[in-house]
Amino acid sequence: MWRAIASNALTLFIVVLAGLAVGLGWARIAFEAPGPLGQAICLRVDRGDRIGEVSARLEEAGAISHPWLFRIGADYTGKSGELRFGSYLVPPGSSMEAILGIITRGGQSTCGSEINLRIGVVSAETVVRTLDPVAGAYVEAMRFAAGAAPEGYGAIRAEDGVRLRVTLAEGVTSWQVVEGLRAADFLAGEIAAVPPEGTLAPDSYEVPEGTERAAVLQMMADRQARIIAELWANRAEGLPYATPEEALIMASIVEKETGLAAERPMVAGVFVNRLRAGMPLQTDPTIIYGITRGDMSQRREIRQSDKEGRTEARLHGKVEYNTYVINGLPPGPIANPGRASLEAALAPAMTDAIFFVADGTGGHLFAATLEEHNRNVAAWRKIEAERAKSGQTQP
């Protein structure tokens, strides 16, 4: 009898082991197999969340079918205590193993909201976007003047993992940058002084919550310094600049003279030709800077007295930025130029042109002779007259 009992027990033990092996095999396959999620989702992991709370959220979203297996897998792999708060994009069909990797890997959130302070040449505004997980693209949620947050903004700001960004447009002045940063509610600290003109790189900067404003300015200055050093080392031969600083001045003028990227080398080529010929640059943006010194709240229409130097003489006692009066470059940059304008200044187009005038489309017509230039000016005056008659404005 005992022999029969032992035999039956052994058989039962073998069956249990076999069942356990089958179960473990199934569990592993299920844990690694594609999941039931039909469309991508944004999964939020809040501060203090535990693996059980996240597994319940995943089941509710249709991302997993067996939350208990997800929890066991997290415990077995030692990742149940490694959750990273934030918003994460979970692609369709993601396995439990893949999802666990997404929410424990760390780094920047891959889903959720982005707050971007955009400092432009006209104004500064805050743009809030959220990621549409199905489309895989950001959708604008709100846009408002910097410092004038509407209802609903506070809730987005309070989200864990929200991305914060500062973006500078090409051609902004340092005064505009400082004013914009002061309006950023996600930055901290004071700004002691406006940085030297031209030393800040127009670009997009991702910043952590509470970053010091002075640190953001230093980041911008370091990037601009690296760009200038790189391009100066590879500049074209025979340029009429003695120093990188002079090239920076030229780049800032090119930046403010044209909004068309394709024209920048040509505009730079015209100004280089004027410098070589000893001609005045005669560029209106330098006059504007002479009046405003970068403080765009002081900007106004240019008058004939400005070009003649009479207004500037009265305001500042000098005409150093008036390129209708002086020869050569002004004493400093008139804005913060982007990389493309720096490239144009250091590798200008080879051209005979020494004149250019607006063509009515946002671009310019270039000319090598005064006769050709006068024809271009006449064409532009005709466009101006037609627009004035119809009430249109220049693009």
Q: Report H helices in the chain.
A: 2-32, 51-60, 67-76, 96-104, 153-157, 174-182, 213-233, 244-257, 264-277, 284-292, 304-307, 310-316, 339-346, 370-390
User: Do 338 and 242 have their domain in common?
Assistant: yes
Last-in-domain residue among 177, 204, 226? 226
30-88: pLDDT as tens digits = 888 888 888 887 788 877 888 888 888 888 888 888 888 888 888 878 888 888 877 78
User: Do 186 and 210 have their domain in common?
Assistant: yes
Predicted TM-score of the model (pTM): 0.75
Which residues contact residue 153 at a Cβ distance below 8 angstroms, ignoring those fewer than 6 apart?
128, 142, 144
pLDDT at 334: 95
Is residue 335 a contact partner of residue 255, using CB atoms and an 8 Å limit? Answer: yes
Structure tokens at 386: 């037609």
**For 362, phi and psi rounded to 5 degrees?**
105, -10
User: Do 137 and 191 have their domain in common?
Assistant: yes
Residue 302, SS3 per DSSP: coil
User: Do 105 and 133 have their domain in common?
Assistant: no
User: Do 321 and 221 have their domain in common?
Assistant: no
Which residues contact residue 193 at a Cβ distance below 8 angstroms, ignoring those fewer than 6 apart?
none
Whether residue 171 is contained in a domain is answered as yes
Whether residue 368 is contained in a domain is answered as no
pLDDT at 130: 84
Whether residue 153 is contained in a domain is answered as no
Whether residue 11 is contained in a domain is answered as no
211-268: pLDDT as tens digits = 999 999 999 999 999 999 999 999 999 999 999 999 999 999 999 998 888 899 999 9
User: Do 244 and 345 have their domain in common?
Assistant: yes
Query: How many domains does the chain divide into?
Result: 3
- What range defines the domain where residue 270 resides? 235-351
Last-in-domain residue among 336, 351, 366? 351
Give 226's DSSP letter: H
Last-in-domain residue among 226, 245, 270? 226
pLDDT at 324: 87
pLDDT at 395: 47
As a whole number of angstroms, the distance between CA 175 and CA 326 comes to: 25
Whether residue 120 is contained in a domain is answered as yes
pLDDT at 233: 96
User: Do 117 and 189 have their domain in common?
Assistant: yes
User: Residue 153 burial (CB < 10 Å; 0-12/13-18/19+)?
Assistant: middle
Give 65's DSSP letter: S
Half-sphere exposure of 273 (CA within 13 A, CB side): 19
pLDDT at 376: 73
As a whole number of angstroms, the distance between CA 155 and CA 259 comes to: 37
User: Do 37 and 138 have their domain in common?
Assistant: no
Residues of the chain with pLDDT under 50: 395
Q: What is the CATH classification number for the domain harbouring 73?
A: 3.30.1490.480
User: Do 101 and 122 have their domain in common?
Assistant: no
User: Do 266 and 196 have their domain in common?
Assistant: no
Greatest extent of the chain over all pairs of C-alpha atoms, in Å:
123
Mean pLDDT of the chain: 84
As a whole number of angstroms, the distance between CA 206 and CA 215 comes to: 12
Cα end-to-end span (Å), the chain: 103
pLDDT at 318: 64
User: Do 332 and 246 have their domain in common?
Assistant: yes
pLDDT at 367: 77
| DSSP string covering 68-92 | HHHHHHHHHTT-TT----EEEEE-T
Residue 138: count other Cβ atoms within 10 Å of its Cβ: 15
Residue 116, SS3 per DSSP: strand
The H helix count followed by the E strand count for the chain is 14, 11
Whether residue 302 is contained in a domain is answered as yes
User: Do 260 and 303 have their domain in common?
Assistant: yes
**For 384, phi and psi rounded to 5 degrees?**
-60, -45
For residue 174, the Cα-to-chain-centroid distance in whole angstroms is 17
pLDDT at 15: 54
